[in-house]
């Protein structure tokens, strides 16, 4: 049955911040297209949100490390006549260890998921958004994109800094067409992220005031993109950290990251 509701595509929707965005969008009355690798989790979430909010939720399992993934996904949606009004580029993960310690294929897949796929999805969906005079794009970046990169997570901060700059450009390019883009930049957020990277025990040493919950990150992110903010840093603590590092000389900022990174890094380079 055709719907007049806005439709959102959420990547990495099976857990964490992606799942929280899906729940927030459903609460706001959006139809959903949910994509991630874990089909069972997507199906369970889609069923719950349909029953609870009366929206349409379509499951599209996909591994975005496939180079043909974004084109295939958008093509399938277009073939079904499903226009996307809201894009949540959330899919992501971390790769631990120094750059040369991982196979290049591991890094190539990381770059594909965290940088290439968000860029291509935006590229393929923006024309339709501009034609309809409405669009919202949220690129889930990180506080890490505002501070110097750390050893042992070589590409993570770099990928998030890319998303921030990319979002700023898209925000300017879409402003006159009703297409708002925001880089949402949370800090430490309760999710499965640290379990996947194997750093749960280490980051659990962080004080409680440093942490946020995923539903708050998603709600603030949607409010920020609706308000037309190109970059939004979640939480006052994270905003203060960003401001501090902006004022510090580069050399001092890098030394601070080096010292802190050793406290929360495991493996042969810890300590």
Q: Answer yes or no: 93 catalytic.
A: no
Kindly give, in sequence order, each residue whose CB lies less than 8 Å from that of residue 107, ignoring residues fewer than 6 positions away.
Answer: 95, 99, 155
- Alpha-carbon span 204 to 201, nearest angstrom: 5
User: Could you say which of 93, 134, 156, 190 is catalytic?
Assistant: 156
Kindly give, in sequence order, each residue whose CB lies less than 8 Å from that of residue 194, ignoring residues fewer than 6 positions away.
Answer: 200, 203
Q: Starting at the edge strand that comes first in sequence, how are the strands of the sheet with 31-35 ordered?
A: 57-59, 31-35, 7-11, 86-89, 135-140, 179-185, 231-233
Specify the DSSP element, H or E, that contains 135. Answer: strand 135-140
Alpha-helical segments (H) within 34-155:
39-53, 69-79, 104-111, 117-132
C-alpha 235: how far from chain center? 16
- Alpha-carbon span 178 to 155, nearest angstrom: 32
Q: Helix 39-53 vs helix 16-27: angle between axes, to the nearest 10 degrees?
A: 20
Encoding tokens for residue 103? 């196979």
- Alpha-carbon span 202 to 209, nearest angstrom: 16
- In the numeric block, the tokens 């005079």 are attached to 133
- Alpha-carbon span 43 to 58, nearest angstrom: 8
Encoding tokens for residue 35? 């994509």
Active-site residues, by number, are 156
């Amino acid at each position: 049955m055709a719907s007049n509701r806005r439709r959102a595509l959420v990547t990495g929707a099976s857990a964490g911040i992606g799942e929280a965005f899906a729940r927030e969008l459903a609460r706001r009355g959006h139809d959903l297209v949910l994509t991630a690798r874990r089909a069972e989790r997507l199906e369970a979430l889609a069923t719950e949100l349909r029953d609870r909010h009366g929206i349409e939720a379509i499951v599209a399992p996909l591994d975005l490390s496939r180079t043909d993934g974004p084109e295939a996904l958008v093509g399938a949606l277009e073939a079904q006549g499903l226009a996307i009004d809201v894009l949540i580029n959330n899919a992501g993960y971390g790769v631990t260890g120094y750059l040369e310690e991982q196979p290049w294929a591991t890094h190539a897949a990381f770059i594909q998921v965290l940088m290439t796929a968000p860029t291509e999805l935006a590229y393929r969906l923006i024309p339709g958004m501009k034609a309809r005079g409405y669009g919202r794009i949220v690129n889930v970046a990180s506080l890490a994109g505002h501070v110097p990169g750390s050893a042992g997570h070589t590409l993570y901060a770099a990928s998030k800094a890319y998303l921030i700059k990319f979002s700023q450009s898209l925000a300017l390019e879409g402003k006159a067409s009703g297409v708002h883009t925001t880089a949402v930049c949370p800090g430490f957020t309760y999710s499965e992220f640290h379990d996947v990277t194997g750093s749960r025990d280490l980051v659990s040493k962080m004080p409680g005031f440093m942490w946020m919950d995923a539903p708050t990150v998603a709600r603030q992110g949607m409010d920020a993109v609706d308000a037309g903010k190109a970059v939004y840093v979640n939480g006052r603590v994270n905003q203060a950290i960003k401001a501090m590092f902006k004022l510090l000389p580069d050399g001092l900022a890098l030394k601070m990251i080096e010292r802190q990174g050793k406290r929360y890094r495991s493996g042969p380079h810890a300590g």
